[in-house]
Amino acid sequence: MVVSLDNVSKIYNGNKLFHGVSAKVEDNDRIGLIGPNGAGKTTLLRLICGEEVPDEGGIAVSSRKNIGILHQNSGLDRENTIWEEMHSVFDALLRIQQRIKEIEAIFSSGKVAVGTADYDSLSQEYSEKSTYFEQKDGYLIDVKIKTVLNGMGFSDKALDTSIHTLSGGEKTRLAMAKLLLEEPDLLILDEPTNHLDFKTLMWLEEYLSDYKGALLVVSHDRYFLDHCTEKTWEIESHQLTSYKGNYSRYLVLKQESYERRLKEYEEQQREIAKLQEYIDKNLVRASTTKMAQSRRAALERMERIEKPYVYHKLPVIRFTYSREPVKDVLDVSDMTLSVGTGASYKKLADQIDLHVERGDRLAVIGPNGVGKSTFLKAIQKKLPYEHGTVRWGDNVKSSFFEQEMQMLDPNNTVLEELWKRHPGMTEQAVRSALGAVLLTGENVYKKVGVISGGERVKLSFAILMQEHANVLILDEPTNHLDIYTKEVLEKAFLEYTGTLILVSHDRYLLNKVPTRIMEMRPDGVELFTGCFDEYQAYQKQIASEEKAAPAPSISEKAKTDYKGKQRRAEEAKMRLRLRELERAIEETEGEISALENMLTSPEIYQDYKRMQELCAELEQKKQFHSDCLDEWAELSEAMPQ
């Protein structure tokens, strides 16, 4: 057990967040913590870390366990370089390494005579520290640091870069890298997927799958929760409920629990109605009064089951359209996207060919900067494109959800923003449309410029629903939304019979909604029929087949340009060198271990000359081992994935 919560309650600014919370975090738990915004998720994390105290109840942390949490201010030393900050994690281990070197130097100098008490004491210390250093993977410190930095997106960053020059997102990623290297017994992550791209996210998920400690994570990224958690804690209506399983399993278990409790409630209500009907009919009859009184007593003793209900109100989102388009909705041919002119000119993507049919749900993915948002605007003629053609089919009516939501007028009230777009609606109809997305009461009189990002997204959906378009074009539609509203939105997308074209980084959505994936690349696009996971599996299969493919024939080689040959030759050399280094590292580790064992034997430390020779040989082996590790790490980073 790492942490135990016993009947914990917390009130914040006069509002009750939760009460009576009892739960445990075991050594290897993988827990996802979810709940509506304002439910107290971050406060619960702070209580577990000891940064706040509960108003009631107690929290016990095992004395042998340590907890690590990623703070908003990162906790980094701004004056350090990236390398210095990462090395600081291993300060204690590096001090042990320094002491090992000092003892080796003493042995080599001959200042302590063999067979003396001081010599025996140093030999014992050397043996203990060397064993501990090896057990803690001391020889792999630099490899660990480079592996984590590379995974967290710092492969192209100079390691001597000063931390104070990094952007806010880079500091957050670096703080997370440091926390991963610290390897706490309980790793707590609060929204860790912010600021991470696809590649870094997938690396982090793989890294956490092998994490030896416990994990407690708050996230709106449902795909991340599915891949990294095995238990779900939900804070709802001031209570914490634990479900066995990841996020997708939680959805099933919660629905089953709701249906079971609703069935029990309805059965009891039928029983109550039946008893009450009997009582009403028979209480006044002399022949049946006693039986009626008995049943009335039973009814009064009955423990009533409360009707289950959803504690957080959900928006109502439903997209419809008024006219059916032709089958061939959109054709894009040989499109080139670029930005800037002259010295600032940059080509984003080239040779984009796309055909979209009625009812398609197309997801557009690709690396940052490839022009996904630009593409959505270009096909609507909202931005010019350098080359190519765009042709829409007859009867197409499209609506656009823009990521930055610049189409909203910040000076309008929420009510005005919708009403001015649809002046034919009555005020009651406008308020009903806003109420459906939970924009009610005084909120409808607030300026668009002051409401939250989530409220602006909901306003945009209210506008889109009134446009009745048969093609929805959406740029990151789930940004700013809580986990429950995302579920509602995805259900609306799945029920919509029109055509969807969307850009998203939400991998859970990409797995549920699209029927096709289009990956944009600088040199064109790749189209795939299926969801995100199926596309990822396809890409891995292609990569695996390419690695296993036999050498090309002479005629095929003749078609390959010189750069391709040179690149493959260089990669082959790198792979060969990596295998050589791995063998050398393994052999050297065995030799180092054997030498360290020899140095602790009485026959050796009583022979001063032999001791000096072995210490010198050990130092050479360690230096060679370190050099091999450095070269291996550099080659591993340089190898194409």
Query: In angstroms, rounded to a whole number, what is the distance separating the alpha carbons of residues 111 and 122?
Result: 12
Contact 522, 347 (CB under 8 A): yes
pLDDT digits (tens, 9 = 90+) for 171-218: 889 999 999 999 999 999 998 887 788 889 999 999 999 999 999 999
φ/ψ (deg, to 5) at 60: -115, 130
Contact 33, 217 (CB under 8 A): yes
* Secondary structure class of 497 (helix, strand, coil): coil
Confidence class of residue 600 from pLDDT cuts 50, 70 and 90? low
Average of pLDDT values for 353-382? 93
Q: Which strands make up the sheet holding 67-69, listed edge to edge?
A: 67-69, 186-190, 214-218, 30-34, 231-236, 239-244
What single DSSP character describes residue 162? B
Q: Residues near 419 by Cβ (< 8 Å), separated by ≥ 6?
A: 425, 427, 430
Average of pLDDT values for 239-262? 94
pLDDT digits (tens, 9 = 90+) for 67-119: 999 865 567 888 899 999 999 999 999 999 999 999 988 888 888 888 889 88
Does the pLDDT of residue 356 top 80, yes or no? yes
Closest of 36, 365, 28, 2 to residue 201, by C-alpha: 365
Q: Residues near 145 by Cβ (< 8 Å), separated by ≥ 6?
A: 83, 86, 87, 181
- Beta-strand relationship, 346-357 and 328-339: antiparallel
Answer with the residue of higher pLDDT: 560 or 547: 547
Contact 181, 89 (CB under 8 A): yes
Does the pLDDT of residue 559 top 70, yes or no? no
Query: In angstroms, rounded to a whole number, what is the distance separating the alpha carbons of residues 547 and 553?
Result: 16
The pLDDT value recorded for residue 578 is: 77
Does the pLDDT of residue 539 top 60, yes or no? yes
Q: Residues near 443 by Cβ (< 8 Å), separated by ≥ 6?
A: 414, 451, 455
Query: In angstroms, rounded to a whole number, what is the distance separating the alpha carbons of residues 93 and 132?
Result: 9
Percent pLDDT > 70 in the chain is 93
CATH 3.40.50.300-classified regions of the chain: 328-542
Does the pLDDT of residue 336 top 90, yes or no? yes
> Other C-beta atoms within 10 Å of 223: how many?
24
Query: In angstroms, rounded to a whole number, what is the distance separating the alpha carbons of residues 82 and 411?
Result: 44
The pLDDT value recorded for residue 561 is: 45
CATH of domain 562-638: 1.10.287
Does the pLDDT of residue 563 top 50, yes or no? no
Confidence class of residue 379 from pLDDT cuts 50, 70 and 90? very high
φ/ψ (deg, to 5) at 276: -65, -40
pLDDT digits (tens, 9 = 90+) for 293-310: 999 999 999 999 988 876
pLDDT digits (tens, 9 = 90+) for 33-44: 999 888 899 999
Query: In angstroms, rounded to a whole number, what is the distance separating the alpha carbons of residues 519 and 370?
Result: 10
Report the run of H or E that residue 218 belongs to, with start and end.
strand 214-218
Percent pLDDT > 90 in the chain is 64
Contact 527, 388 (CB under 8 A): no
CATH 1.10.287-classified regions of the chain: 562-638
Work out the mean pLDDT of the chain and round it to a whole number. Answer: 89
User: One-letter amino acid identity for 455?
Assistant: E
Average of pLDDT values for 244-272? 95
Q: Residues near 14 by Cβ (< 8 Å), separated by ≥ 6?
A: none
The pLDDT value recorded for residue 613 is: 75
Average of pLDDT values for 26-55? 92
Query: In angstroms, rounded to a whole number, what is the distance separating the alpha carbons of residues 610 and 599?
Result: 9
Average of pLDDT values for 338-355? 89
The pLDDT value recorded for residue 156 is: 85
φ/ψ (deg, to 5) at 384: -75, 155
Query: In angstroms, rounded to a whole number, what is the distance separating the alpha carbons of residues 574 and 368?
Result: 29
Answer with the residue of higher pLDDT: 406 or 178: 178
DSSP notation for 316-381: ------SSPPPSEEEEEEEEEEEE--GGG-EEEEEEEEEEEETT-EEEEE--TTS-HHHHHHHHTT
CATH of domain 328-542: 3.40.50.300
> Other C-beta atoms within 10 Å of 275: how many?
16
Query: In angstroms, rounded to a whole number, what is the distance separating the alpha carbons of residues 58 and 7?
Result: 7
Closest of 47, 38, 39, 36 to residue 7, by C-alpha: 47
What's the angle, vertex CA 391, arms to CA 385 and CA 396, rounded to 5? 120
Confidence class of residue 608 from pLDDT cuts 50, 70 and 90? low
The pLDDT value recorded for residue 75 is: 72
pLDDT digits (tens, 9 = 90+) for 425-480: 999 999 999 999 999 999 999 999 999 888 999 999 999 999 999 999 999 999 88
Per DSSP, what are the bridge partners of residue 236?
Answer: 239
* Secondary structure class of 385 (helix, strand, coil): coil
What single DSSP character describes residue 156? T
What are the Cα distances from residue 57, in Å, to 219, 232, 293, 504? 26, 22, 44, 43
Does the pLDDT of residue 549 top 80, yes or no? no
Residue written as tokens 């806010």? Answer: 168
What single DSSP character describes residue 136? T
Does the pLDDT of residue 504 top 50, yes or no? yes
Query: Does the model's pTM come out above 0.85?
Result: no
Closest of 165, 199, 186 to residue 66, by C-alpha: 186
The two three-digit tokens of residue 33, written as one number:
């913590």
